[in-house]
Structure 1
Amino acid sequence: RDLTHEKHTFVDILRASAYALAAIEIVDSRIQNWDIRFVDTVADNASSARFVVGSRPVPLSQIDLTACAMELSRDNEVLSRGNGAACLGNPLNAAVWLADRMVQLGTPLRAGDVVLTGALGPMVAVKEP
């Protein structure tokens, strides 16, 4: 559903969301050696390049968004791990903020939009094998 209220709640987000998918954000910065400040992040479009979503939709009512966990590994080595609490205490906090902000900007979130609420674990640099 569209999120058009001035102030949203967790319930608004839950009602508007069909499901959640696991996702990986591909970060790509133009800033050499990751020597980045806030102004650079804005100029670099938040260093976001792409994202990949999983293929198993899960209703939000079946997920503990604060306790959900992620682990990124390569060749049995854990490179990053985290949980939903790492995203402003609960990913729904990020979604509420975004929904409110988009209404303030005159472009509310609409049905069908993909929303990435934030990383659950730290970024990992890709290295050639």
Structure 2
Amino acid sequence: MSTLRGMCTIAYWAEDVAAAVDWYAGFLDAEPYFRRDNPDGTPAYVEFRIGDHQAELGICDSRYAPPGTTGKPSGAVTYWAVDDLEGAVERAVAMGAEPYQPIVARGDLGFRTASVADPFGNVLGLMANPHYMEVVEGRRS
């Protein structure tokens, strides 16, 4: 049995959760399905389900972030599979994200990655991943 079964939820931090939710709703062309509010009625946590496996992308109020969280792009990068890497990077940047890492070929088998820093300080990894597409297509047939 594998220790890691698959990515299920990724949490991004934001001081302005409502603005982050609006940004991600526009970028993902999807609406969140879950919301939990702070006592003052502002959103504390909002979650989207996206992609082939309905992975969860959560936007969390940064006041609940672990100690030492800086609010600046850093740490691990989760790469989301995309059909059009260049288009996804261009769309994110056009919506206010900052380039973080340019498109880089990872060998000669078609794997390519890039990342942007969203307007809230989170690193959003984007990837053209032939293996991911093979797995998804294999499950459909």
TM-score by length of 1: 0.25
Higher relative contact order (CA 8 A, sep 6+): 1
More strand by percentage: 2
More helix by percentage: 1
